[in-house]
Amino acid sequence: MRLICPNCGAQYEVDAHVIPDSGRDVQCSSCGHAWFQQPLHEVVGAETEDEAKPNPEWHAAEVTPEPEATPQVVPDAEPEPEPEPEPEPQPEPEPEEEPEPDLPPRELPKRELDAGIRSILQEEAEREIAAREEEAEQESAPADAPEKTQNEALKKLIASRTAAMRRFEEDDDFDNSTPAEETPVEPFDSYEPEPEPPAQGRDLLPDIEVINSTLEEIRPEEPIVPPLPKPAGRSGFRRGFFLVITLALIAFILYLIAPMLADAVPALAPVLEGYVNWVNGLRTLLDETMQNFTAKMQAKVDGGQ
């Protein structure tokens, strides 16, 4: 049976036996509205009676025949006119590029050389010149050709050092004709001076730093000391001590269980009996020895007093 709240329209499915024949009050759990609910058979009977009663206000409408529709003549549709082709768009004229005005070359700022770097370069150049002069004085060449070669090499070295100093003072690598593009200045580390001509004398020998870098440090091999052998005396003593203790335990256990073994194995009875007698003799001998030793010690003690 379905209960419908007349206030909020909430629907509830309940058993038909919940509503008695006399009806009962129910309350909506959604909105709290209460009403009197009749049983299911009375509700169905009331609905059928309402449907069976004719409505006096209702009158059957008179049925009037509809007039027959006359067919309408549809004229033939005129053919659609073909669309005219669209004119092709004309390309717009490109604007003429105005020539850029010639700009005067931009003056680039000169890069000043650091005083420390300048002093280092000057000292290095002076040191090289002094070394070359000493070599020229010490070495006496028989012909004029070697002297000319050394002088030319010295001049080239001085010229390369001077060019390096000027390169840092004035950047000649910038192209003033193209101010839009700037060429990077070569750093000092990437500068490579011109190769020096081969010289005579001690310059033919390799550099001492190169020799030191190629040589590997040779260390004397450490003598391998063999491991010392373990002393054999301690292991032998330990082994003998445990062997004696083991044999003594076996002999003592055999002495204790000799009567049981003789009963279990009669064939071993004579051997076990002899072994027991021998152990008893050793016990008696040990007892007598201890008594004699005790008596002598007691006599010495009494004599000393």
Coil vs helix vs strand at 128: helix
Is the pTM value of this prediction over 0.75? no
Say yes or no to pLDDT of 116 above 80.
no
Cross-strand partners of 11: 4
Do 123 and 185 fall into the same domain?
A: yes
Nearest to 277 by CA among 259, 303, 296: 259
Residue recorded with tokens 């839009």: 180
For the stretch 279-302, pLDDT in tens is 999 999 999 999 999 999 998 888
State mean pLDDT over 208-221. 60
224 token code pair = 């391998």
Tell me, yes or no, whether 151 lies in a domain: yes
Comparison of pLDDT for 94 and 201, the residue scoring more: 94
- List b or e across 84-114, with b for residues whose CB sees 16 or more CB atoms inside 10 angstroms: eeeeeeeeeeeeeeeeeeeeeeeeeeeeebe
Tell me, yes or no, whether 24 lies in a domain: yes
How far is 171 from 287, CA to CA, in rounded Å?
121
Tell me, yes or no, whether 254 lies in a domain: yes
Mean pLDDT for the chain overall: 71
How far is 185 from 294, CA to CA, in rounded Å?
115
Q: Residue 13's pLDDT is what?
A: 84
Residue 146: is it exposed, middle or buried by C-beta count within 10 angstroms (0-12/13-18/19+)? middle
Tell me, yes or no, whether 300 lies in a domain: no
Q: List all residues 6 or more positions away from 117 whose beta carbon is below 8 Å from its beta carbon.
A: 168, 188
- Model confidence at 139, pLDDT cuts 50, 70, 90, reads confident
Tell me, yes or no, whether 257 lies in a domain: yes
* C-alpha torsion 206→208→211→215, nearest 10: 160
For the stretch 204-214, pLDDT in tens is 555 667 666 66
50 token code pair = 């309402």
Nearest to 157 by CA among 191, 135, 125, 199: 125
Tell me, yes or no, whether 76 lies in a domain: no
Tell me, yes or no, whether 74 lies in a domain: no
Which of the residue ranges 20-24, 30-34, 231-235, 284-288 has the most confident prediction, judged by mean pLDDT?
284-288
Do 146 and 193 fall into the same domain?
A: yes
Q: How many domains does the chain have?
A: 3
Do 187 and 135 fall into the same domain?
A: yes
Tell me, yes or no, whether 23 lies in a domain: yes
Do 43 and 128 fall into the same domain?
A: no
Beta-strand runs (E) in the chain: 2-4, 11-13, 24-27, 34-37
CA distances from 54 to 45, 61, 62, 221, 253 (A): 16, 15, 18, 131, 127
Do 29 and 120 fall into the same domain?
A: no
State mean pLDDT over 121-127. 85
- Say which range, 143-152, 193-202, 235-244, has the weakest mean pLDDT: 193-202
Listed residues 214, 231, 263: the one ending a domain? 214
Do 152 and 204 fall into the same domain?
A: yes
Q: Residue 280's pLDDT is what?
A: 92
How far is 257 from 63, CA to CA, in rounded Å?
137
Do 123 and 191 fall into the same domain?
A: yes
Do 125 and 177 fall into the same domain?
A: yes
User: How many helices and strands (H and E) does the chain possess?
Assistant: 7, 4
Do 207 and 264 fall into the same domain?
A: no
Say yes or no to pLDDT of 173 above 80.
no
For the stretch 25-76, pLDDT in tens is 888 888 888 888 887 776 655 555 555 455 555 444 444 555 554 444 444 5
Residue recorded with tokens 């010495």: 300
Say yes or no to pLDDT of 192 above 60.
no
State mean pLDDT over 230-243. 76
- List b or e across 39-77, with b for residues whose CB sees 16 or more CB atoms inside 10 angstroms: beeeeeeeeeeeeeeeeeeeeeeeeeeeeeeeeeeeeee
First to last CA, the chain: 130
Do 129 and 183 fall into the same domain?
A: yes
For 8, half-sphere exposure in the C-beta direction (CA atoms, 13 angstrom radius) is 11
- Model confidence at 22, pLDDT cuts 50, 70, 90, reads confident
For the stretch 69-100, pLDDT in tens is 444 444 455 556 666 666 666 666 666 666 56
Do 122 and 202 fall into the same domain?
A: yes
**Owning domain of residue 30:** 2-51
Residue 154: is it exposed, middle or buried by C-beta count within 10 angstroms (0-12/13-18/19+)? buried
Listed residues 15, 30, 51: the one ending a domain? 51
State mean pLDDT over 182-197. 52
Do 210 and 251 fall into the same domain?
A: no
